């Protein structure tokens, strides 16, 4: 199964700043996704990261706040922009190889002061 490396694993940031989270997979994958998990809650899909084109965002999420890049089939980044305390969450990337269930990275635990 695909091995996913997500960086950083955690961070504490000041409000108003931005943080870029990286997701690296050890093999080429068809689809990559970004999820948010607010404290004590379930996962909500932010967007599908499309290779070579703009990400597809879910309702309630916009590119200006969560710009996503996917330059190739093994790598994606999610930026959380102009952060506020409400953005304190775990951010997870997942991958779909097309033949196996989605696999998740360990997540990035983000706290905004």
Partner 1 sequence: SQQGEEDPQALSIQEGENATMNCSYKTSINNLQWYRQNSGRGLVHLILIRSNEREKHSGRLRVTLDTSKKSSSLLITASRAADTASYFCATDEGETSGSRLTFGEGTQLTVNP
Residues that bind partner 1 (CB under 8 A): 6, 30-31, 33, 41-45, 48, 59, 92, 94, 96-107, 109
Compute the least distance from the CB of residue 11 to partner 1, in Å.
Answer: 14
Compute the least distance from the CB of residue 16 to partner 1, in Å.
Answer: 27
What's the CA gap between 95 and 25, in Å, rounded?
A: 8
Compute the least distance from the CB of residue 93 to partner 1, in Å.
Answer: 9
50 neighbors 56 (Cβ within 8 angstroms): yes
Considering beta carbons, is residue 40 or 52 the nearer one to partner 1?
40
What's the CA gap between 78 and 31, in Å, rounded?
A: 15
47 neighbors 33 (Cβ within 8 angstroms): yes
């Amino acid at each position: 199964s695909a091995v996913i490396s997500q960086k950083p694993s955690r961070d504490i940031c000041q409000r108003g700043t931005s943080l870029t989270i990286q997701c690296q997979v050890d093999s080429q994958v068809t689809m990559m996704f970004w999820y948010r998990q607010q404290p004590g809650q379930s996962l909500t899909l932010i967007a599908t990261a499309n290779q070579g084109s703009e990400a597809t965002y879910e309702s309630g999420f916009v590119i200006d706040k969560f710009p996503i890049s996917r330059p190739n089939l093994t790598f994606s980044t999610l930026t959380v922009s102009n952060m506020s305390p409400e953005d304190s969450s775990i951010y997870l990337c997942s991958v779909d190889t097309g033949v196996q269930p989605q696999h998740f990275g360990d997540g990035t635990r983000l706290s905004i002061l």
